[in-house]
Each structure stands twice: as C-alpha cells, then as structure tokens.
Amino acid sequence: MREYLSNVLEGGQVLSIEEVLGNILIATVIGLVIYLSYWITHVGSVYSKKFNVSLVMLTLLTATVMIIIESNVALSLGMVGALSIVRYRTAIKDSRDTAYIFWAIIVGICCGTGGYIIAAIGTGAVFILLLLLGRVKNDNRMLLVIRGTREKSMEIEAIVFKVFENKAKLRVKNSTESSIEFIYEISKQSYDKSHKHTPDLLGHVYALGGIEYVNIVVQNDEIV
C-alpha cells in the first residue's frame, strides 16, 4: 500500500521541452487574444493598461503552474497549500474584470494540461460575446444638488416637482438651522426631456432667491 501511494505521488507525465514550449506559446497567443478583447471592450477611465498586461501574465503563470502540477502529483499538493495562504486584495473597478480574471486562469489551466482545443473554442466564444456585449453600460443618472436657506425649502421642492414632475426622486435632504440641501436622482432620459421644456433650469432656481448653489452631476460607470 505504501509503495502504491509512493508511486502515485511521485509518478506523473513528464513533458518534453517541445511540449512545454508549445504549451507556453499557445498560452501566450490566447493571452494576447484576451488582451485584445479587454482593450476593445473597455474605454475611458475604466480601462487599465496595467491590469490588461496582468491578464496575459496570469495566463502564462497559470499555464506554467499546471505544467508543473501535471508532471508531479506530490508537488501539486504542496503548491496548493502554499498558494492557499496568498490573499489578493486588488480593487476591481469594473465587475467585468472578475470575468476576465477567470477567463485568463481557465485558459492557463487548459493550455498547461494540453487542452488547446477547449481553450481555443472557449476563447473564441467568449471573445465574440464580449465583442457584441462588452460595451454595454448602465444607464447614466443625473444628480441634482440644490442648497439654499431653510425658508426656501418649500419653493425648491415645488419648482423641482414642476420641472420634473414625479421623475425626480429625493435621495438626500440635509438641513441645519439656517440652510437646507436637496439631492435628487433623475434618469438621463427624464433630464433631457425636461431640459427641452425648461432649458434654463438654473435661472428658475436662482430666481427663488436665497440659493447658495445648484450642482448637476452625471453618475455613471466611470464617475461615481
């Protein structure tokens, strides 16, 4: 029994230099496809050059680890224990980045174990899907921030309701002894529609008097 377990742990498929180079080369090529996909589907401040390069590196490193694990079962058990103590705390700006990380790891696993066809077909399918849907974004929202004297609170709420009707949702209402602040959330579509009927919104609000400031902020995937 002891000899059997020893043979299982010490045994494994020994890859030739050509096979190892082939695995690494294919992992590199597919990693560059992932790089291209990320570059196409991410624009603006969401795009990170360093993160994109890290995806290619992650693909190669995962493939390298899988080559070692495949050739030595005992070493794979020790490597699992060593890697389990590592914690990654990198902030993810876009939820799609998590999918790209899993994509790179899966491709590395497939290439490291010789599953080139699976890696190629899966990468092709994901690449086409992201090419079609990768630029989908959440709807932009507008935040209307108005600060003035407390005596004008009723008039501020009335003019906002008059311009936007029930499309403006009151999210925050801050007040002190002498001042009050309103923060309304409005969809971009509702804001554009109301802007056509009332293009001089700022003028109407400041005409009330006692207004300290009026801010209009766009809230989207890149600016929060």
pLDDT of res. 69:
77
Q: Which residues does the chain have with pLDDT short of 70?
A: 1-15, 43-46, 71-94, 134-140, 219-224
Q: What's the confidence (pLDDT) of residue 7?
A: 53
Would you list the DSSP string of 26-83? HHHHHHHHHHHHHHHH--GGG--HHHHHHHHHHHHHHHHHHHHHHH-HHHHHHHHHHH
Q: What does the pLDDT read at residue 8? A: 46
pLDDT at 13: 59
Check residue 133 and give its pLDDT.
78
pLDDT at res. 36: 92
pLDDT reported for residue 34: 93
Predicted local distance difference test score (pLDDT) of residue 62: 87
pLDDT, tens only, 184-197: 988 877 888 887 77
